[in-house]
């Protein structure tokens, strides 16, 4: 893959939309890009969405709603709120004192301001409804700020699509990139500690399980939010 000079991409979307997967693909092809943190060629991140200045291209990655909303249950939303509170309190040590290091991170202000913005908009006592709101809120803003939107599930469907996807990012595909990427995703793992520099500040509180969801479940819970998700993703998902 050929990378034009001064390339600085922002590939963004909702959390749990496959941004880590996409960062792995591009990193494997030689792009100096990180997951949720900036590198020479940019970032694949849901938490750099509020300020998109300075990027050569901003693109929106969307993932199938039911899978994405289910996966959003893995986020410990309360922990994010506690992390923000802790960062504001210089005297706080408690159980999260390891995250004091993140106060000095170059991306710390970006991460904090993004979480503050979205957490305020998705408040809800029901976890699934909160995840529905998160899917809508992040994807609406990502769509508004991006040059175009593509489906995560399409990236590796064919060599032609893969190459057109790279070109749409401003990159030049070379022979073998598609097969290399197929083999890579099946056989090779790149640790998130390599693709990111974070200190655990976004993973406080462990990992929750992902429930099995259906449109019937979402509609019975909140028909208005369910319809909004369908409207948002029409043209991408039936």
Give residue 107's pLDDT.
62
For the stretch 74-133, pLDDT in tens is 998 888 877 776 766 666 555 554 554 544 454 666 777 888 899 989 999 999 999 999
Three-class HEC string of the chain: CECCCCCCEEEECCCCCCHHHHHHHHHHCCCCCEECCCECCEEECCCCCCCCCCCCEEEEEECCHHHHHHHHCCCCHHHHHHHHHHHHCCCCCHHHHHHHHHHHCCCHHHHHHHHHHHHHHCCCCCHHHHHHHHHHHHHHHHHHHCCEEEEHHHCCCCHHHHHHHHHHCCCECCCCHHHHHHHHHHHCCCCHHHHCCCCCCCCCCCCCCCCCCCHHHHHHHCHHHHHHHHHHHCCCCC
pTM attached to this predicted model: 0.85
| pLDDT at residue 205 is higher than 80 | no
Give residue 103's pLDDT.
45
Average confidence (pLDDT) over 25-49: 94
The pLDDT > 90 percentage for the chain reads: 68
For the stretch 180-196, pLDDT in tens is 999 887 765 555 556 66
Give residue 179's pLDDT.
94
């Amino acid at each position: 893959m050929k990378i034009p000079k001064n390339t600085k991409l922002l590939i963004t979307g909702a959390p749990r939309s496959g941004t880590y997967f996409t960062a792995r693909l591009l990193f494997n092809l030689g792009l100096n890009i990180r997951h949720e943190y900036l590198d020479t060629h940019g970032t694949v991140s849901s938490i750099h969405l509020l300020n998109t200045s300075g990027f050569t291209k901003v693109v929106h990655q969307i993932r199938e709603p039911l899978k994405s909303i289910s996966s959003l249950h893995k986020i410990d939303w309360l922990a994010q709120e506690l992390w923000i509170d802790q960062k504001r309190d210089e005297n706080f040590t408690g159980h999260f004192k390891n995250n004091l290091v993140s106060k000095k991170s170059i991306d710390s202000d970006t991460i904090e301001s993004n979480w503050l913005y979205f957490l305020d908009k998705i408040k809800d006592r029901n976890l699934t409804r909160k995840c529905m709101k998160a899917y809508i809120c992040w994807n609406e803003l990502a769509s508004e700020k991006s040059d175009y939107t593509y489906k995560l599930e399409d990236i590796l469907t064919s060599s032609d699509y893969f190459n057109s996807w790279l070109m749409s990012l401003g990159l030049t595909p070379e022979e073998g990139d598609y097969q290399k990427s197929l083999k890579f995703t099946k056989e090779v793992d790149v640790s998130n500690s390599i693709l990111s520099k974070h200190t655990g500040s976004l993973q406080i509180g462990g990992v929750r399980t992902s429930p099995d969801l259906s449109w019937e479940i979402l509609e019975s819970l909140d028909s208005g939010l369910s319809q909004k998700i369908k409207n948002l993703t029409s043209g991408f998902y039936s």
